[in-house]
Structure 1
Amino acid sequence: MTTWAVDSGIESSLREIREGIKEGRFPARAFNDQQIFDLEQQRLFPRTWCFLAHESEIPSPGDYVTRYIGNNNIIVARDEQGQIHANLNMCRHRGNVMCKSEMGNASHFRCSYHGWTYKNSGELIGVPYMKEGYEGRLKRKDWGLVNVRIDTYAGLVFGCLDPRTPSLEEYLGGFQFYLDLYLKQGEAGSEVHGPPDHWVADTDWKICAENFAGDGYHTPVAHQFGFNLGYFPSSGSTHSQGWAASIPGRGHGIGLGHSPNFPPFGGFPEELTAEMKRTLSPAQIEVFSKVRTAVGTVFPNLSFLMQPFSLVPGETGVRFVTMRLYHPVGPGRMEMYSWCLVPRGASQEYKDEAYKAYTLAFGQAGTFEQDDFENWTKVTRSAKSTMVKNIDFPYIMGMGSERDPDFPGPGHVVRPYVNDTNFRNLWGRWADYLVGDVEP
């Protein structure tokens, strides 16, 4: 049992937690604790690659969105030459918020306090009373917006606050193999379909990140109606079939559900399947053709889910993809961003049908979304209670599982899909950051 510290002993407690993870234990209190939240803001989010935007959200010069890395509000904008920049959403003069809208189009940003004006790429170009007030002592090139390091993969824009953190490619560590299922459904890649759903919930971000790292265990219970009404192309008895894949030491994980009677690439239109076979590698085709449901998390807080959904029970239905970001705003509280991703080159009819399936299943008022948040908010509430201070949860499914030797994809891949291996990997990496043992 973990002895939870509430004072300066937090450092030793964190090391104890990390050792417990190796044995299949994780403290309940971690899902709603002020000290843990503060340490995540200081040691986790500034040092990881955090998702900021999809390139298709800012397709034209001047387009911008505002997003977060931890408690830092970031402007992500496309300049007049088409390049993407990220800058802290704070005027360098007295710290006022520059962009008060979450999205828009602007070639320049002007502070509403003292009027300092910046290009959308971050350079300071306008200072009222420059000659009279500063008398030549202010050099505009030294006072641009604070730049944020960015990198991209297949349309995803990530930001990192620590210049010592390795490249995004190294950070992903081979997880790109699995991300391609969501992002390369065709030769033109992916795009967002409409703005993200966006709401605040009394839920800890880590519960969501864990669930989407491959929790197939909850599905036959929390989403039982899906089986009873025939909306899943599987049954409770076959739902556990498939693989759990994780990148050891990176925290990323994905669950790949497989149904024996589900058609290869079921739920995709034929023309899109043909494109995917030209775009993906032979190993990816071998794996993805067998996948019914794919639910994965890029450490720390970006997740994806793909599955078929049909309004007609028993039919294969249409594939949809939801991309989700869990932004922590306090212990046990987060902002949820949820996008629908569609293949850029697909027909408008398919895009609209996929968006409809996403909305009904995992939009803000989606049926499956309501099931999950009902449970997640209650878990978060329980984690705050005094009696759980020294209570651990078991993470012992699949302890000692050996890698599936026949699986062609990267990482540690085990069977069945219902497994705790991905979660131990997730929490081990989380603990490394909080302890401070992650090498720059």
Structure 2
Amino acid sequence: MTCKRFIIDDPERMLFKVSRSVFTRPELLEKEKETIFNQCWIYVGHESEVTKKGDFVTRNVAGRPIIFNRDSSGRVHAFLNTCSHRGALVCREREGNCKTFRCFYHAWTFSNNGDTIAIPGEDSYPPGWDKSLMGLHSVPRLESYRGFYFLNFDKHAVSLDEYLAGAKEYLDLIVDQSETGDMEIIQGTQEYDMKANWKLLVENSFDDYHVVPTHITYLDYLKDSGVEVALPKGLLMPAHGIGKPLGNGHAVIDNKTYRGRPIARWMPIYGEDAKPVIEEKRKELVQRLGEEKGMRIAETNRNLVIFPNLVINDGSSITVRTFYPVSYNHMKVTAWALGPKEESPEARRVRLDSYLTFYGPGGFATPDDVEALEVAQQGYEAYQEVEWSDISRGLHKEEQLNTDEIHLRTFWRRWNELMTGETTPGTN
């Protein structure tokens, strides 16, 4: 592959640009798979999805079919969902509970700890043939942080703890919303496609610059429902937070919320019945975590990107979202709602309503974002004539606001480093 300059990172000229070819050249995707998805820690699932011995879920992670499960002894695994005999999927169900996985092709059967336990006609194999070597293959690395499990196909990669770097602080802010530290993926999965390059969704996921022009319908809905939203005269929502790099390509926007949060900040659309529940949770957070941290959780929201393709939106609800490219201009997106395991039915009702209202595929925000990214992808087909996108917003400032673009630049610097081996001098 011809190595072309992908970014311009020039602090002296206060300039940062990204070549639009990174969204439109099909051959770049193979390089991304090799240097990014095959070498970075990739989110596979949450411990709450496999709580009981024998529980499993199957999903595609970084282009591979994966069985994420808890075996009969209680150990969590991530197996490659492929028979060691002739390659067929050994589990074709989306989720369930079982002691064994049986390949329907030739009936090879495996324990839920990966061992081979039954092979029809085993005595037909040559002397010395060892079925114990034919078990399910585990991913090279599987590690977790506070219930979030990640895998890595590079056995020599740094530890997950080192990789997450500053992102751990923001995962802590999510998990600490539970009195017991037990968060759970709420039953139900959102799956949808976008006809756009996967990196556009990274940009969009923590880009507050687009909120007013793209999501004005939602802001009008809040205002009409009695929420105090000071809509700007122009097309830019006043900045109410910061953008922050977290190391290793991770970044976050951390904002003072202008809307409610089901966890601890009531607003009229939640209904009067939810008000005492939310106010009680607010008090609990402060009592347990202290005024500063408790109010930080109650009064701020965060959009966290863990490089390369995990987004956790901790705002009107908590959304865990991953996405993976099918081709250079097509991605598949998967999202789940996350919440404290012990929360009351009323709190859960408000959480799910907020989740669907804003983040759902049929909600206020997601259809807007899908349309925005798909028309951007169409426009980028003119990349040979209009080559560069400018991401210099806020580059001259020491403190980066949530409407600036340091978080986008953080992603692109890491992406460029992995793709080219080059580091760039910029920091803002």
Q: Which TM-score band (shorter chain)?
A: 0.7 to 0.9
Report which stretch shifted further, 236-245 or 368-377. Answer: 236-245
CA contact (8 A) 1:244 1:256 kept: yes
- 1:273-352 residue pairs with structure 2 within 5 A? 273-277=282-286, 280=289, 284-285=293-294, 287-291=296-300, 293-308=301-316, 320-352=317-349
In structure 2, the partner of 1:159 is 151
Instruction: Say which is worse superposed, 233-242 or 88-97, in terms of deviation.
Output: 233-242
Matched, 1:416 2:414: no
- Matched with 2:272 is none
Q: For 2:217 and 2:288, locate their aligned partners in 1 and report how far apart those are by CA, in whole Å.
A: 36
One-letter identity of the residue aligned with 2:375: K
Asked if 2 retains the 8 angstrom alpha-carbon contact of 1:76 and 1:87, the reply is yes
Distance in structure 1 (CA, Å) of the matches to 2:150 and 2:304: 17
Q: Deviations over 1:232-263 (max 9, x none)?
A: 65434454221112114x11111122258989
Superposed displacement of residue 374, structure 1: 0.9
Which residue of structure 1 lines up, in the alignment, with residue 188 of structure 2?
195
In 2 relative to 1, CA 260–215 (structure 1 residues): closer, same or farther, beyond 3 Å?
closer
Deviations 1:265-307, CA, capped at 9 Å, x for gaps: 523813323443356577644644441x321211111112132
- Counterpart of 1:192, as a letter, is I
What are structure 1's unaligned runs of at least 5 residues?
A: 1-7, 309-319, 403-413
Q: Tell me the amino acid that sits aligned with residue 103 of structure 1.
A: E
Correspondent of 1:88 among 80, 83, 87: 80
| Map of 2:274 onto structure 1 | none
Q: CA RMSD in A?
A: 2.5
Cross-structure match for 1:142? 133
Change (3 A) 1:62 1:18: same
Shift of 1:47: 0.7
**Residues in 1 aligned to 2:420 and 2:132: alpha-carbon distance in whole angstroms:** 38
Choose the corresponding residue for 1:253, options 251, 254, 279: 251
Q: Please list the CA deviations of residues 329-357 of structure 1 after superposition, one character each: whole Å capped at 9, or x if unmatched.
A: 22111111111111112111111221011
Once the 2 structures are TM-superposed, how far is the Cα of residue 118 of structure 1 from its aligned partner? 1.0
* 1:399 positional shift: 1.1
Are the aligned partners of 1:29 and 1:389 in contact in 2 as well (CA < 8 Å)?
Answer: no
Select which of 394, 398, 406 maps to 1:398.
394
Displacement, 1:421? Answer: 0.5
1:55/1:437 CA distance change after superposition, 3 Å: farther
| Secondary structure of 2:208's aligned partner | coil
| Distance verdict in 2 for CA 1:29–1:281, change over 3 Å | farther
Tell me the alpha carbon deviations over residues 120-159 of structure 1, each in whole angstroms, 9 at most, x when there is no partner.
Answer: 221122221111x113332122221111121111221111
Deviations 1:69-122 (A, max 9, x none): 321111101111221100111111111111222222221111122221111221
Letter in 2 for 1:399: L
Q: Is the 8 A contact 1:191 1:344 kept in 2?
A: yes
Change over 3 Å in CA distance of 1:275–1:170 after alignment to 2:
farther
Whether the 8 Å contact between 1:198 and 1:338 is mirrored in structure 2 is yes
Q: Secondary structure at the match of 1:29?
A: helix
Q: 1:96 touches 1:111 (CA, 8 Å); kept in 2?
A: yes
Which position in structure 2 is the counterpart of 1:17?
Answer: 6
Counterpart check, 1:271 vs 2:280: yes
- Which whole-Å CA distance do the structure 1 matches of 2:358 and 2:365 have between them? 5
The number of aligned residues is 400
With over 3 angstroms needed to count, the CA separation of the structure-2 counterparts of 1:271 and 1:82, relative to structure 1, is: farther
Asked if the contact 2:321–2:334 (Cα under 8 Å) also holds between the matched residues in 1, the reply is: yes
Is the 2:21–2:383 contact (alpha carbons within 8 Å) kept by the matching residues of 1? Answer: no
Other structure's SS at 1:366 match:
coil
Residue among 430, 433, 440 paired with 2:415: 430
Gaps of 5+ in 2: 267-276, 424-428
Aligned with 1:68 (options 57, 60, 73): 60
Amino acid in structure 2 at the alignment position of 1:435: T
How many angstroms apart in 1 are the aligned matches of 2:280 and 2:326?
43
Q: Indicate the percent of aligned positions where both proteins have the same amino acid.
A: 26
Cα distance in 2 between the residues matched to 1:21 and 1:335: 34
Contact 2:7–2:16, Cα closer than 8 Å, also in 1: no
